[in-house]
């Protein structure tokens, strides 16, 4: 296939537009309303070209090249038309380049210059439209809008939020929310994709207004510190402050330019006035600022004292999913080598450890099997217990996009009507806590209807007969009884999942935060193994971690029984390797979990918490408070005075992600760089520096000049990270396993074999059991918790973002309209919610997105300690508490 452009004969692939062919061959055609990620609409007419035998000029951006086509891109006719078009665009509104945030980063400005337009022949409109800047995030100045429609298209096509659209006709055409509503009123999610897409200055960052222009800022690419997706972002920095945030539009990122409100506008927490800038020492119940020497010496003294008095195992450390890999590595190294104990754990204990346990026993490894963009390759995706669009907004949006514009079919299983359920082909709404039952029911149908993958089951699995036997009990009828899901839906869902060429399972904490969370995950693993949906692109069992480095902290060995890279401490060979590397004798005695540190009152006397906040995330907070108060000495290292920090004896001020170098490993095993963009705020220091300093003072020298060196050490000791180095990470992330320098990383796991003893996948059939606490007469409601779009990490960052607080100011109790009627409460009314363990007061939001009899709350407001209600019964294997279900009573206040 060949076309001729300006006399040059060019090859092209069918489907390519004239513009694409020209661009590929370095032939310049100006564009305005064009953006690769959305459908071309040919609206602006800037890209017109002359095509032989065509009656009119042709928009090159949306016209497919045809064999033998003869195109001219710069004839007089074309140039004249373009120039007039640009003149018309300029004179559509009021463009003041003087103070425009898009100055020098403006397609219209470039076009005006290219066309040599001193002054358009048309007058500016007489009227000025008012600038909309009521919210603290987006400024909409429609005086600068050129109606390219890119904001509309990214909102509709990429983010699938459908907040923006055209309205009005002809010269009164405009873009924005319907009925002239403000963005807030229209339910905008403030992903800010529209700002990023806007080619002119019509949409801009309010936070960055007058904060620095494109050529004055330093642009730093780094990894978003919020959720587990690990979006690549570009920070625009000036005078030590983050001014604007853009999504990085590279193909080798998970987000490809898209980010969510937390990243776009929620990074202002870095500059929060509430940031800790000096170490604090508690004296007589009150914190006083202290010098680093004072504070660290006090820590050293106390740790030494406890170690001496009670032995090493009276000390414990809780790491954080928020720290970098390097810091997590150093932390567990510090605990193990310097404090001499394996009492090291991290916050995942309260959320995703069941995944690690279940996936490990089934496949031989506890990580998400595929990548975040697996949805692009899947035919069917089953999403269970996961508020996908709020948890992982960018991938949630991608999923909505694929449903709306592609062929992806979704099965959503959730008692709550989460947004992604609106896009489901089937939405199963089970009684809360009955996951094993519906999963078994699906397998029952799949086996009965002979829809399972015989070949896969035979060649790559073990214990099929056990599974077959167990699930035979779970007839659709019985499952309907347990779950409340109509049996027809079970059957339909089973067929849909089993018949898909590539089916994937994505799940969240709705599955894991149960006393049988591990079995829940096993049930999903069984489903995948049964249908052969493991070891291929677009399939797998995919645990979606809520935290930016939940995967990395586990990889780095912040878990009692394992060294970094999942190497068991019980293996003498491993032990020896680390002893040699670290130059100390290491304990082979199993350590205790976070649950055994803070829930079950035990032997821990001294606790070192980095970034964790069990005083908010843990269950039955009244109990945790008692346990912590009983300890001898607690040191908390954090950016803010978290609830846990408040009960500490010493608080060490830590840096934010923006103030340090390092790496995060996203929930899909992708290791990406965190780059220092600003200097530490106040006297705060990066965690790795604090740990090194502390270790040195404790007598174990750890001297690193840069996290790069720590990564080199990790690579040398951790096989899956063996090929990782900062040099390689410069060009994008690496997905482990990446055992050596030449290994490209691994997109999905278990392609040919599993990492089990036999190399096969193991079925772990599980029976349904009821939750620990069910509603009764005294406590008639099921209480469940979760997160919303704006907050996560217990709100420890996000509650310090003015923008995010503006959008989501407080926790609300979501309640079904029927229950609200029964309780005689209206939207916004305050109620008292009590469980056997405590009570809270909270305002009500009535919504049928929660089923009757169930109430739901987020857990971010420090004013409302939601977790005083939850139960601390643990999953026997993973030691994860059943945070998702407890029984409560509700009274109007």
Partner 1 sequence: MKIFRSHILICGGTACRASGSVAVRQALNHEIARRGITNEAQVVETGCNGFCAAGPVITIYPEGTFYQYVTVDDVPEIIEEHIIKGRPVERLMYREPETEKPIPHVKDIPFFGKQKLIVLKNRGIIDAEKIDEYIARDGYLGVAKALTEMTPDEVIEEVKKSGIRGRGGAGFPAGLKWTFARRAKGDVKYMLCNADEGDPGAFMDRSVLEADPHAVLEGLIIGAYAIGAHQSYIYCRAEYPLAIRRLNVAIAQAKDYGLLGEDILGSGFDLNIDIYQGAGAFVCGEETALMASIEGRRGMPRPRPPFPANQGLWDKPSVLNNVETLANIPQIILNGGDWYASIGNERCKGTKVFALTGDVNNVGLVEVPMGTPIGDIIFDIGGGIQGGKKFKAAQLGGPSGGCIPAEGLNTPTDYEEITKMGAIMGSGGLIVMDEDTCMVDTARFFMEFCQEESCGKCTLGREGTKRMLEILTGICNSQGKEGDIELLEDLAATIKDGALCGLGQTAPNPVLSTIRYFRDEYEAHIYDKKCPAAVCSAFFKSPCQHACPVEMDVPAYIALVRAGRVDDAYKILKRTNPFPGVCGRVCPQFCANKCRRGQLDEPMAIAWLKRYITDNGSRPNVEPVKVTREEKIAIIGSGPAGLTAAQDLAKRGYKVEVFEDLPKAGGMMRYGIPEYRLPREVLDIEIGDIKALGVEIKINTRVGKDISWDELKNTYDHIVIAIGAHKSWKLDIEGEDIDGVIGAVEFLRAVNLGKTIDVGNHVAIIGGGNSAIDAARTSLRNGAGEVTILYRRERKDMPAQAVEIDAALEEGVNIEYLVAPTRIIAEGGKIKGIECKKMALGEFDRSGRRRPSFIDGSEFTLDVDTVIPAISQGADTSFIPEDAEISIKRDRFEVVGRNGTMTTADGIFVAGDAASGPATVVEAISQGHKAARDLDSYIRGKNNEPPYKAPSEERIDIPFEVDEETEEQPRGSMPDLPVTERAGNFKEVEKGYTKEIAYKEACRCLRCDAEIE
φ, ψ of residue 662 in degrees (nearest 5)? 160, -160
Q: Which of residues 91, 646, 712, 756 is near partner 1 by CB under 8 A?
A: 91
How wide is the angle at C-alpha 33 spanned by C-alphas 30 and 39, nearest 5°? 115
Q: Does 80 bind partner 1 (CB under 8 A)?
A: yes
Nearer to partner 1, 22 or 356 (CB): 22
Largest CA distance in the chain: 93
162 binds partner 1 (CB under 8 A): no
Q: How many CB atoms neighbour CB 14 within 10 A?
A: 9
Cα–Cα distance, 337 to 699 (Å, whole number): 11
Residue 823 makes contact with partner 1 by CB under 8 A: no
Structure tokens at 173: 């055409």
Q: Does residue 166 bind partner 1 (CB under 8 A)?
A: yes
CB of 33 to partner 1, least distance (A): 9
Q: How far is the CB of 66 from partner 1 (least distance, A)?
A: 9
Instruction: Indicate whether 285 belongs to the interface with partner 1 (CB under 8 A).
Output: no
187 sits near partner 1 (criterion: CB under 8 A): no
Q: What is the DSSP letter of 881?
A: B
CB closer to partner 1 out of 86 and 624: 86
Among 1, 79, 84, 584, binds partner 1 (CB under 8 A): 84
Interface with partner 1 includes 42 (CB under 8 A)? yes
Confirm or reject binding of residue 172 to partner 1 (CB under 8 A).
yes
> Using CA atoms, how far apart are residues 882 and 884, in angstroms rounded to an integer?
6
- One of 23, 34, 45, 241 touching partner 1 (CB under 8 A): 45
Minimal distance, residue 92 CB to partner 1, in Å: 6
Cβ-Cβ contacts under 8 Å for 705 (sequence gap 6 or more): none
Q: Of 133-141, 170-178, 214-222, 575-583, which part binds partner 1 (CB under 8 A)?
A: 170-178
Task: Provide, rounded to whole angstroms, the least separation between the CB of residue 42 and partner 1.
Answer: 4
In angstroms, give the least distance from the CB of 405 to partner 1: 11
- List binders of partner 1 among 93-152 (CB under 8 A): 121-122, 146-147, 149
- Give the single-character DSSP code of 631: S
- Candidates 53-61, 439-447, 466-474, 510-518 — which segment interacts with partner 1 by CB under 8 A? 53-61
Q: Is residue 89 a contact point for partner 1 (CB under 8 A)? A: yes
Give me 272's structure tokens: 């929060």
Total binding residues for partner 1 by CB under 8 A? 36
Q: Give how far the C-alpha of residue 556 lies from the chain's centroid of Cα atoms, to the nearest Å.
A: 19
Could you give the angle at the alpha carbon of 876 between the alpha carbons of 872 and 878, nearest 5°?
Answer: 85
Apex 325 CA angle, 320 and 329, nearest 5:
80
Least distance between partner 1 and beta carbon 19 (Å): 12
- 173 scored as a contact of partner 1 (CB under 8 A): yes
Shortest Cβ distance from residue 169 to partner 1 (Å)? Answer: 6
- 8 Å CB contact between 775 and 783: no
Kindly write out the interface string for residues 409-428 of this chain, putting x where it contacts partner 1 by CB under 8 A and - elsewhere: --------------------
Q: Should residue 92 be labelled a site residue for partner 1 when binding is judged by CB under 8 A?
A: yes
3-state class (DSSP) for residue 801: coil
State the Cα–Cα distance between residues 650 and 306, nearest whole angstrom: 15
Is 160 among the residues that bind partner 1 (CB under 8 A)? no
Q: What is 437-476 written as a DSSP string?
A: HHHHHHHHHHHHTT-S-HHHHHHHEE-HHHHHHHHTT--H
CB 78 within 8 A of CB 48: yes
The residue range among 45-53, 586-594, 608-616, 843-851 that interacts with partner 1, by the rule CB under 8 A, is: 45-53
Straight-line distance from the first to the last Cα atom of the chain, in angstroms, rounded to the nearest whole number: 74
Q: Which is nearer to partner 1, 166 or 240 (CB)?
A: 166
Nearer to partner 1, 80 or 852 (CB): 80
Counting contacts by CB under 8 A, is residue 165 touching partner 1? yes
- β-bridge partners, 662: 674
- Cis omega (within 30 of 0) for bond into 554: no
The residue ranges that bind partner 1 (CB under 8 A) are 40-46, 48, 56-57, 59, 62-64, 77, 80-81, 84-85, 88-89, 91-92, 121-122, 146-147, 149, 165-166, 168-173
């Amino acid at each position: 296939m060949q076309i001729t452009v300006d006399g040059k004969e060019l090859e092209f692939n069918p489907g390519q537009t004239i513009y694409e062919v020209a661009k590929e061959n370095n032939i310049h055609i100006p564009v305005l309303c064009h953006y690769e990620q959305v459908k071309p609409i040919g609206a602006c007419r800037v890209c017109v070209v002359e095509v032989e035998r065509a009656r009119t000029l042709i928009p090159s951006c949306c016209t497919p090249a045809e064999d033998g086509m003869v195109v001219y891109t710069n004839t007089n006719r074309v140039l004249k038309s373009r120039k007039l078009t640009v003149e018309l665009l300029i004179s559509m509104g009021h463009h003041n380049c003087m103070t425009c945030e898009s100055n020098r980063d403006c397609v219209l400005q470039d076009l005006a210059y290219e066309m040599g337009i001193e002054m358009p022949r048309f007058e500016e409109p007489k009227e000025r439209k008012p600038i909309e800047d009521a919210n603290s995030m987006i400024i909409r100045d429609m005086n600068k809008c050129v109606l390219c429609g890119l904001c509309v298209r990214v909102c509709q096509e990429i983010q699938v939020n459908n907040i923006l659209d055209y309205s009005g006709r002809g010269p009164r055409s405009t873009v924005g929310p319907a009925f002239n509503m403000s963005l807030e009123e229209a339910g905008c999610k403030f992903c800010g994709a529209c700002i990023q897409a806007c080619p002119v200055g019509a949409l801009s960052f309010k936070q960055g207004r007058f904060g620095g222009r494109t050529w004055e800022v330093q642009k730093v690419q780094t990894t978003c510190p919020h959720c587990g997706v690990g979006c690549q972002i570009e920070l625009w920095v000036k005078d030590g402050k983050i001014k604007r945030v853009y999504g990085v539009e590279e193909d080798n990122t998970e987000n490809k330019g898209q980010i969510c409100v937390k990243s776009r506008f929620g990074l202002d927490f870095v500059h929060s006035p509430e940031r800790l800038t000096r170490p604090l020492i508690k004296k007589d119940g009150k914190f006083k600022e202290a010098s680093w020497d004072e504070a660290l010496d006090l820590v050293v003294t106390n740790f030494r004292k406890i170690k001496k008095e009670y032995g090493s195992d009276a000390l414990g450390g809780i790491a954080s999913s928020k720290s970098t890999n390097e810091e997590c590595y150093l932390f567990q190294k510090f605990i193990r080598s310097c404090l001499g104990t394996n009492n090291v754990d991290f916050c995942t204990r309260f959320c995703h450890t069941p995944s690690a346990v279940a996936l490990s026993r089934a496949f031989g490894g506890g990580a998400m099997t595929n990548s975040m963009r697996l949805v692009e390759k899947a035919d069917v995706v089953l999403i269970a217990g996961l508020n996908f669009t709020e948890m992982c907004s960018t991938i949630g949006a991608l999923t909505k996009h694929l449903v709306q514009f592609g062929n992806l079919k979704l099965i959503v299983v959730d008692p709550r009507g989460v947004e992604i359920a609106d896009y489901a082909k089937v939405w199963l709404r089970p009684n809360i806590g009955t996951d094993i039952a519906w999963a078994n029911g699906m397998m029952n149908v799949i086996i009965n209807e002979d829809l399972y993958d015989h070949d896969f089951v035979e060649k790559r699995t073990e214990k099929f007969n056990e599974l077959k036997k167990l699930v035979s009990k779970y007839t659709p009828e019985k499952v309907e009884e347990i779950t409340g899901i109509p049996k027809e839906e079970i059957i339909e869902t089973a067929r849909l999942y089993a018949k898909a060429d590539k089916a994937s399972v994505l799940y969240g904490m709705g599955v894991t935060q149960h006393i049988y969370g591990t079995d829940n995950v096993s049930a999903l693993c069984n489903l995948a193994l049964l249908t052969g949906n493991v070891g291929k692109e677009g399939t797998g069992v995919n645990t979606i971690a809520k935290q930016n480095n939940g995967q990395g902290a586990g990889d780095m060995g912040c878990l009692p029984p394992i060294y970094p890279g999942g190497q068991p401490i019980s293996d003498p060979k491993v032990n020896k390797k680390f002893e040699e590397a670290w130059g100390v004798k290491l304990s082979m005695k199993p350590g205790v979990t976070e649950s055994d540190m803070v829930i079950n009152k035990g032997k821990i006397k001294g606790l070192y918490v980095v970034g964790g906040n069990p005083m908010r995330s843990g269950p039955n907070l009244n109990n945790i408070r008692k346990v912590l108060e009983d300890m001898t000495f607690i040191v908390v290292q954090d950016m803010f005075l978290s609830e846990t920090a408040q009960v500490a004896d010493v608080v060490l001020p830590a840096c934010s992600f923006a103030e340090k170098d390092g790496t995060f490993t996203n929930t899909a095993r992708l290791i990406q760089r965190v780059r220092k963009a600003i200097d530490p705020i106040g006297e705060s220091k990066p965690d790795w520096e604090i740990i090194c300093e502390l270790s040195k003072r404790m007598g174990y020298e750890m001297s690193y000049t840069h996290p790069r060196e720590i990564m080199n050490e990790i690579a040398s000791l951790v096989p899956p990270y063996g090929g990782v180095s900062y040099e390689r990470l410069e060009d994008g992330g690496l997905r482990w396993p990446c055992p050596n320098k030449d290994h490209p990383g691994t997109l999905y796991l278990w392609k040919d074999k599993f990492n089990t003893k036999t190399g096969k996948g193991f079925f772990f059939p599980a029976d349904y059991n009821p939750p620990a606490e069910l509603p009764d007469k005294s406590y008639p409601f099921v209480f469940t918790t979760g997160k919303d779009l704006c907050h996560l990490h217990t709100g420890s960052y996000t509650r310090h973002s003015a923008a995010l607080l503006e959008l989501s100011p407080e926790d609300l109790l979501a309640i079904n309209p029927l229950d609200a009627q029964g309780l005689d409460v209206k939207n916004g009314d305050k109620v008292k919610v009590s469980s056997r363990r405590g009570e809270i007061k909270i305002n009500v939001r009535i919504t049928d997105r929660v089923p009757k009899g169930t109430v739901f709350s987020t857990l971010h407001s420090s004013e409302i300690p939601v977790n005083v209600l939850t139960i601390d019964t643990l999953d026997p294997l993973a030691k994860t508490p059943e945070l998702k279900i407890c029984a409560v009573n509700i009274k109007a206040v």
